[in-house]
Structure formats: C-alpha cells, structure tokens
Amino acid sequence: MKALKSLLFAIFIFSAAQLHAQRGVVNMSLQYNYALPLGSFKTDVISKGSPRGFTGDILYGVSDKFSVGLGLGFQDFYEKYPRALYNTGDKEVTSAVLSNSVQIIPLLAKAEFSPLGSAAPVQPYITAGAGLGVSSFTQYLGEFGGTDNAGGLMLQGGAGIKVPFGKYSKAGFRLGANYNMVSYHHDGFSNFNNLSFQGGIYFPLK
Amino acid sequence: MLNNKLTSAALLACVVTLFSCTKEPLNNLTQEESRIYVTNADTTINFSAFKTYSISDSVVVLDNGQSYKDLQPSDQSYIDAVNKYMQERGYTKVTRSANPDIGIDVNRIYNTSTGYYSYDDYWDYYGGYWDPYYWGYGGYGYYVPTFFGIYQVTEGAMSVDMLDLKNASEKGKIEVIWNGLIRGEGIFNASIAEGSVKALFDQSTYLHSN
C-alpha cells in the first residue's frame, strides 16, 4: 500500500513536468486477459488460471507521457475439484464435488506513465489503479450452493509496452501485465488477488 | 482515427463477450457429480456394541408435508443396498420381532412446493410416520441429538436412519445414532442406489460390528 502511494506520487510529480506537451488526446484500449490466482485465492479457492477476461481503459492524455482515466474489466475464474469428504457440521461429513466460481469486475481510476512518449517505436509504460472491485463468489457442493456478491477496495499496478501500428500512427498494439489486489472478506476468505497478462489494441477516440 | 460507430461496436462486442464467457458451474456437472452424500453420527456410540439389525420392508415417502408408505423398485434397491453393506460390516439381519439392536428406516423425501423443507421438520414429523410401535416401543419418543445437521431439502432426497433399539428401554427413548442423506440428480433411479449407499458406508468407517 505504501509502495503504491509512493509510485502514484512519483508518477504525479514526474508528469507535472510534462504538462506542456500533447494534451487532450483520449485513448481507448481493449485487452484480452489471462489471469493467475495468487496467495490464498490460489490455495483456498481456485488454483487454475483463467483465460476468460477482458479489460478496457479510457485514458485522457494530460501530456505526451502521462494519462489518467478509468478502467473497467471482467475476469471469470472457475475450478471443479474431484469428489472429496468435507466436514460440514459438528459431526457431519459430506462427500461432494466442489465447484468454485469467481467473477471480478474492476471499476478503477487509473494513471499511466510512458517515459518515452508517443513518438517512440516501442513505448514502455507503467500503470496504477485504485477503485472498486466487485466480486461474485459462487460455491457448490454437488449442485447445492449459493452466491455471495461483494464490493471491496481494489488496487492495481502494471507494466508493459505499446507498439504503434506505424511510424505516425496513434493506434497500436499493447502488451502488459497487472498485479491486482482485490479485497474480499467473507467466510474466512480475505482476497482474490491475481496476476493478469494482457494483450490488445489502443486507439484514439478524438 | 476510428469513428464513433466502430468504437461503439467494439464496446458492445466486448460487453456481450464478457458476460457470455462465464463458466457456469451447474452446466459443468455430470449427474454423478451433482450428488452429495451426507452422514451424521453420534461419535460417542461404539457401533461394534451392536450386532443385529432389522430394516423396514418399505419406505416412507414424505411429500410436501404428507407421508405414506410405498415400495417402488428404486426403494427396494436402496433397502437391498443397505442390507448388503450392513452385512458386509458384520451386522446380522434379524426380524423386527427378534429384538434387533439397530432399527433402520429408509425414507424418500420430496418437496416441490415453495419454500424449503428443513431437517428439523423432518424429525418433528418422524414419530408420525415411523410410529415407535413399529419397532416394538410403543409410547416412546424419538430423540435426535442436537449436533445432527439441518439440511435444506429443496427437491428430493433419500434418507437412511439408524435407531438405537438396544438401549431404548434403558434410555426411555429411541435414539437416532446415524443418518445418511443422498441428494442430487437421479437419486430416485434404482441403478444408482447401491453406489449411493456404498458412498454413505465408505465415509462411515466406524460402522462395523467387530
């Protein structure tokens, strides 16, 4: 948390010097996501990676190197565990196939910093985001279970590269990775933290 | 620069794709995987102290608050399977009049109405359809230990109950010492009865007469 605050502050200070560069460009990016559960999310809920995810960002260019805006997305995690015995009560034992399903919808305020600006043929970037992570957690023993929906703090840090389609193109490809901290405090679970790898395109809206 | 229509189409496609690619757990279960096998036991009981048992020759159907006795092919399969696994665990089947140590009831439960059927209700009505006279203990009541679970049975279940008849006179009540519950898809099919009862016994390794 402290590191993220420092990162955001550094981005803000650095970008302040760039404010007189290009302004007013609104870029949209659409990305496919593959996400890997981390920590207790991986050990206690879902161990498998999720190939079902998308993100979309709309960022306003404060300068040629610094943009701020909103990020939305969706990631669907699912795993079915083989039949096993579970202690479901004081003296109660249940044999069941356990299915866990988690959907995460991030609604984030985001900032992006590209130190080489938009003219470079390959543009590395770092991003930071903070906002709401809406989580839906469904758990079934056999066909019996239920769903819990919750919203909690979500923090995101990421890095990657942007490659314009051409020398003078304002649109291009985008590859990167995000570390997502998604809080979820319910029934002994604490988070749905994950690492997502993403690839997509970006293009100006105006 | 892409025009607004293209952007809107891209956004729409993204949203549609987003919500259509969720993997729905219930659509990824086979009938076998949909089933759960639940057992409750009084673990203070030494099951090897019991040697004989008797099992009812029909099942009680509990259908939305009404009860009646019945014997469909699937019911008989459940009764046969319980007999098989009780004898595999060393218990001897005797007639109801031969003072069995354990009484076993098999029940078929439906609930197709709104709301849910809780296991508490199930036991509240128990004496109504398995009259203690059936087991030769007229005037006695049933006793279900408080640690027994409460289930919400929303569509159907098969239930097997073991009753302590050996100590009923001493305790002045017929105590439930073990219960097995089978829920899920296809449970009223005769072909799955043996496998389901086997699952109940497999997770109850303490059930043996020696």
Q: For chain A, say whether B39 makes contact (Cβ under 8 Å).
A: yes
8 Å CB contact of A91 and B38? no
Residues in chain B: 210
The CATH number linked to B65 is 3.30.160.670
Instruction: Give the range among A76-80, A149-153, B124-128, B162-166 with minimum mean pLDDT.
Output: B124-128
What is the pTM (predicted TM-score) of this model?
0.81
Number of Cβ pairs < 8 A linking chain A and chain B: 106
Query: Does B42 contact chain A (CB < 8 Å)?
Result: yes
- What is the pLDDT, as a whole number, of residue A78? 96
Query: What is the average pLDDT score of chain A?
Result: 88
Whole-number pLDDT of residue B141: 77
Contact B43 A91 (CB under 8 A): yes
Q: What is the mean pLDDT of residues B80-88?
A: 97
Q: Is A70 near chain B, with CB under 8 Å?
A: no
The range of the structural domain enclosing residue B75 comes to 35-202
Yes or no: say if B114 and B142 are a contact pair by the CB < 8 Å rule.
Answer: no
Contact between B157 and B187 (Cβ < 8 Å): yes
Q: Is residue B26 in some structural domain?
A: no
Name the residue facing A95 among B18, B37, B148 (closest C-beta): B37
Domain count for chain B: 1
Q: Which residue of A has its CA nearest to B17?
A: A54
pLDDT at A17: 36
Mean pLDDT of A158-185: 94
Is residue B6 situated within a structural domain? no
Is the complex ipTM more than 0.90? no
What class is the A2-78+103-135+149-204 domain? Answer: mainly beta
Rounded to an integer, what distance in angstroms lies between the CA atom of residue B182 and that of residue B35?
7
Tell me what the mean pLDDT of segment A169-186 comes to.
94
Is residue B200 pLDDT above 50, yes or no?
A: yes
Tell me if residue B168 falls in helix, strand or coil: helix
Query: Is residue B155 over pLDDT 80?
Result: no
**Is B35's Cβ below 8 Å from some Cβ in A?**
yes
pLDDT, tens digit, 9 for 90 and up, residues B168-180: 999 998 999 999 9
